[in-house]
């Protein structure tokens, strides 16, 4: 998600707008935490709805990938049959008892396997939610190279496989253009005394949502503000929050729809709820017509692997 380039809006801004549409003034009284959590849940639902509504060019990423994980000494020893990528080539372990040796040509325990392996791209490893199978895998970076050629791909259980053909050179590191998963937002305030696990979501004091990249020790403020209990790095300096936390924002183009949808879902009157949801859907369709159809996006053949 950090590679995405779009104008975003903070979680607090979204929740404040939803509250105002419900007749609450955040400047006068802050809703209780359970109400904030409920509003944030609906905001996330609306964001996912908008995210998956169309093949938005603004949300696509292009990234170089490999068909197998890169070899690393930390993962050694590798068992018999394990396949890895290393220095531009793919190798398969042939050692009966496994090996910790670095892959290389001429090795007695590693054998090149480009001609026999399945060229698969794992959606989970690269955070891919959806990809165009006919125009999603390329020989070169399609955003920078006019001579980038699309490679045929087919869906499979873990993502997609790339069809390498004998009459064309093998492409060890293709480029893929895909839509990642929608960001998740949180109304749960960050607590200085709480350690967090990888994947945990919090709202910082700046009103932004943050997701933990890795396990986070207590006191590492995602907003980067100083704390008396702030953790220190091994050098004695305050811990860098960007090492632990990644910001999560809603695209600005979805703001109106997300706010209208969440506020409508909070309506207790069925008629008012129905009118509000219809207005929100009309907003989303108008946005799609303005930002997708006018640029004449081609039809798509897609596959999804859900988390």
Question: Would the pLDDT of 234 be above 70?
Answer: no
Q: How far apart are CA 90 and CA 220, in angstroms?
A: 39
Q: Indicate whether 160 belongs to any domain.
A: no
- Render pLDDT for 156-200 as a digit per residue (tens, 0 to 9): 999 999 987 777 789 999 999 999 999 999 999 999 999 999 999
Q: Indicate whether 28 belongs to any domain.
A: yes
Count Cβ atoms below 10 Å from residue 38 Cβ, excluding itself.
17
Count Cβ atoms below 10 Å from residue 107 Cβ, excluding itself.
16
Q: Do 278 and 198 share a structural domain? A: yes
Q: Do 191 and 274 share a structural domain? A: yes
Is-contact 86 101, C-beta < 8 A? no
Q: How far apart are CA 209 and CA 200, in angstroms?
A: 10
Q: Do 200 and 236 share a structural domain? A: yes
Residue 237 burial (10 A CB sphere; 0-12, 13-18, 19+)? exposed
Q: Are strands 201-203 and 175-180 parallel, antiparallel or unpaired?
A: unpaired
- pTM metric for this prediction: 0.84
Is-contact 56 6, C-beta < 8 A? no
Is-contact 64 174, C-beta < 8 A? yes
Q: Do 81 and 44 share a structural domain? A: no
Is-contact 242 221, C-beta < 8 A? no
pLDDT at 217: 95
Q: How far apart are CA 155 and CA 150, in angstroms?
A: 16
Q: In terms of Cα–Cα distance, which of 176, 168, 180 is closest to 121?
A: 176
Q: Do 292 and 195 share a structural domain? A: yes
Q: Do 200 and 104 share a structural domain? A: no
Compute the average pLDDT of residues 35-54: 97
pLDDT at 306: 35
Question: Would the pLDDT of 295 be above 80?
Answer: no
Q: In terms of Cα–Cα distance, which of 182, 229, 173 is closest to 209?
A: 182
Question: Would the pLDDT of 228 be above 70?
Answer: no
Count Cβ atoms below 10 Å from residue 301 Cβ, excluding itself.
13
Q: Do 207 and 282 share a structural domain? A: yes
Q: Do 49 and 190 share a structural domain? A: yes
Q: Indicate whether 101 belongs to any domain.
A: yes
Q: Indicate whether 199 belongs to any domain.
A: yes
Q: Do 283 and 243 share a structural domain? A: yes
Q: Indicate whether 129 belongs to any domain.
A: no
- Render pLDDT for 55-96 as a digit per residue (tens, 0 to 9): 998 899 999 999 999 999 999 999 999 999 999 999 999 999
Q: Do 289 and 187 share a structural domain? A: yes
Q: Indicate whether 27 belongs to any domain.
A: yes
Q: Do 189 and 273 share a structural domain? A: yes
pLDDT at 18: 96
Q: Which band of pLDDT confidence, cut at 50, 70 and 90, is reported for residue 2? A: very low
- Residue 260's domain comprises 8-57+183-296
For residue 179, the SS3 value is: strand
Q: Indicate whether 290 belongs to any domain.
A: yes
Cα angle value 162/93/72 (rounded, 5°): 80
Q: Indicate whether 65 belongs to any domain.
A: no
Percent of the chain with pLDDT over 70: 89
Rg (CA), the chain: 24
Q: Do 106 and 35 share a structural domain? A: no
Tally of domains in the chain: 2
- Render pLDDT for 140-154 as a digit per residue (tens, 0 to 9): 999 999 999 999 999
């Amino acid at each position: 998600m950090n590679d995405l380039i779009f104008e975003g809006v903070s979680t607090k801004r979204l929740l404040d707008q939803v509250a105002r549409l419900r007749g609450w003034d955040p400047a006068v009284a802050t809703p209780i935490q359970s109400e904030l959590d409920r509003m944030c849940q609906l905001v996330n639902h609306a964001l996912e709805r908008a995210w998956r509504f169309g093949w938005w060019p603004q949300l696509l990423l292009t990234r170089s990938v490999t068909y197998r994980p890169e070899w690393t000494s930390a993962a050694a020893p590798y068992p018999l049959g394990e396949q890895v990528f290393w220095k531009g080539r793919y190798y398969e372990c042939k050692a009966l008892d496994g090996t910790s040796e670095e892959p290389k040509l001429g090795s007695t325990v590693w054998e090149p396997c480009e001609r026999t392996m399945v060229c698969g791209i794992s959606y989970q490893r690269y955070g891919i939610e959806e990809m165009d199978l006919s125009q999603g895998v390329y020989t070169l970076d399609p955003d920078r190279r006019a001579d980038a050629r699309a490679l045929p791909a087919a869906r499979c259980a873990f993502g997609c496989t790339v069809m390498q053909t004998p009459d064309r050179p093998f492409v060890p590191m293709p480029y893929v253009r895909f839509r990642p998963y929608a960001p998740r937002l949180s109304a749960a305030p960050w607590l200085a005394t709480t350690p967090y696990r990888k994947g945990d979501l919090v709202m910082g004091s700046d009103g932004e949502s943050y997701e933990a990249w890795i396990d986070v020790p207590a006191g590492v403020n995602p907003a980067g503000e100083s704390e008396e209990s702030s953790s220190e790095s091994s050098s004695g300096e305050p811990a860098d929050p960007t090492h632990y936390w990644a910001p999560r924002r809603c695209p600005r183009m979805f703001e109106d729809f997300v706010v209208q949808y969440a506020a409508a879902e909070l309506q207790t009157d069925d008629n008012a709820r129905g009118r509000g949801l219809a207005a929100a859907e009309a907003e989303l369709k108008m946005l799609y017509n303005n930002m997708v159809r006018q640029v004449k996006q081609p039809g798509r053949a897609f596959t999804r692997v859900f988390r």
